[in-house]
């Protein structure tokens, strides 16, 4: 409440915009012609000291070591380093090493041994934070959250750490050793609606429609395996769509995609799923989307309005509109589909 009051008073005093998250504040400023505070080629209406002076009567006890003494273009905020001119965000060195050490200690202490709920919740919370920069890491979190859920909020029991948790922590251990990982911050731009539809049917296979053209993938008769259900199949439909987008040269774009499976939409929007085969499909999908800066806006459409629905049931479109893949199916998918 006090922090919110500071922001309100600053706004009245002409200090804005101000970002606030819990007890972290970050003040910004913009150049103003003829303003009294000159810095380089630009003038501003306040510097750091003037900014503080405008709320001095409040007696705010500023942290002696945190925060910047000057306005900087590269600054730390809520545990991340923000490079404003280049629109990059990364982990500061100390933060990266701190999280790396947490992962290492957990693996050394609990690999093949039992841990408590607090132990897994602590490492899971840390990595959820880091995943803002390490985007591909989002699909390496469900094993941790699933394990935490198995405790059923009991803080006192101890459980053996599953191999899947240790496997995903190895990914994080390797990722956090890399010093040059950054996330590019790009505007999504306007959503482009190119008539992209995906659908899956357990009776035949997967259908995809892109701007009037179509593609289909027929299932083998013995395709059903444990945990490979319609939800998995609908997620794979989006994965196969993404391979076509890569093949067609899409990049740096925000695309509307229509699906009639709400569970798939939810899992892809979160970047993870508790179902391991679905999670692996999401992992492969995001591995293509992120480097290409393609942002899918997946929205629900009723099956009756899904243009890919008849194709997923084997009612194929005209031959001259067929999309022919030049990509090779991932090895994980080859056992499920009839392919040349």
For 63-131, the DSSP string reads -SSSS-SS--SEEEETTEEEETTTTEEE--HHHHHHHHHHHHHHHHHHTTSEE-HHHHHHHHHHHHHHT
Quickly state the pLDDT bin for 340 (edges 50, 70, 90): low
| pLDDT(10) > 70 | yes
Extents of the domains making up the chain = 2-71, 93-184, 192-336
pLDDT of residue 147: 95
Distance of CA 235 to the CA centre of its chain: 16
Provide mean pLDDT across the span 20-29. Answer: 90
Q: Which two tokens stand for residue 40?
A: 């380089």
Contacts of 278 (CB under 8 A, 6+ apart): 227, 231, 232, 235, 267
Q: Which CATH number fits domain 192-336: 3.30.9.80, 3.40.50.150, 3.30.420.10, 3.40.50.510?
A: 3.30.420.10
Provide mean pLDDT across the span 296-316. Answer: 97
Reference 84, options 98, 97, 68; nearest CA is 68
DSSP per-residue codes, 300-315: E--GGG-TTHHHHTT-
Contacts of 282 (CB under 8 A, 6+ apart): 139, 235, 239, 267, 268, 271, 272, 273
Q: Any idea of the CA torsion for 212, 256, 302, 201, to the nearest 10 degrees?
A: 70
pLDDT of residue 274: 86
The answer to whether the beta carbons of residues 56 and 6 sit under 8 Å apart is no
Give the other-Cβ count within 10 Å of 308's Cβ.
29
Reference 291, options 251, 256, 329, 240; nearest CA is 251
Provide mean pLDDT across the span 231-256. Answer: 96
| pLDDT(300) > 70 | yes
Tell me the pLDDT tens digit for each residue of 322-335: 999 999 999 999 99
């Amino acid at each position: 409440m006090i922090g919110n009051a500071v922001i309100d008073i600053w706004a009245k005093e002409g200090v804005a915009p101000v970002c606030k998250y819990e007890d972290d504040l970050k003040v910004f400023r913009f150049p103003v012609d003829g303003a009294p505070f000159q810095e380089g080629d630009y003038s501003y209406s306040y510097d750091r000291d003037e900014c503080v002076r405008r709320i001095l009567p409040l007696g705010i006890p500023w942290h002696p070591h945190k925060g910047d003494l000057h306005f900087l273009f590269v600054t730390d905020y809520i545990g991340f380093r923000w490079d404003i001119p280049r629109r990059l965000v990364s982990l500061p060195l100390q933060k990266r090493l701190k999280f790396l050490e947490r992962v290492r200690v957990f693996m050394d202490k609990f690999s093949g041994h039992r841990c408590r709920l607090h132990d897994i919740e602590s490492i899971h919370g840390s990595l959820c934070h880091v995943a803002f920069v390490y985007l591909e890491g989002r699909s390496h979190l469900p094993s941790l959250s699933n394990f935490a859920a198995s405790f059923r909020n009991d803080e006192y029991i101890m459980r053996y750490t599953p191999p899947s948790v240790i496997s995903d922590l190895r990914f994080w251990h390797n990722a956090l050793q890399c010093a040059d990982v950054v996330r590019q911050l790009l505007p999504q731009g306007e959503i482009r609606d190119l008539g992209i539809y995906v659908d899956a049917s357990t009776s035949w296979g997967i259908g995809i429609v892109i701007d009037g053209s179509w593609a289909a993938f027929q299932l083998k008769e013995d395709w059903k395996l444990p945990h490979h259900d319609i939800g998995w199949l609908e997620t794979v439909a989006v994965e196969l769509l993404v391979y076509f987008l890569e093949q067609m040269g899409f990049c740096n774009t925000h695309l509307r995609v229509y699906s009639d499976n709400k569970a798939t939409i939810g899992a892809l929007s979160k970047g993870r799923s508790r179902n391991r085969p679905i999670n692996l499909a999401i992992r492969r999908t995001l591995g293509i989307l992120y480097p290409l800066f393609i942002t899918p806006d997946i929205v629900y459409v009723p099956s009756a309005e899904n243009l890919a629905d008849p194709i997923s049931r084997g009612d194929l479109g005209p031959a001259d509109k067929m999309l022919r893949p030049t990509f090779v199916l991932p090895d994980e998918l080859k056992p499920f589909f009839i392919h040349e």
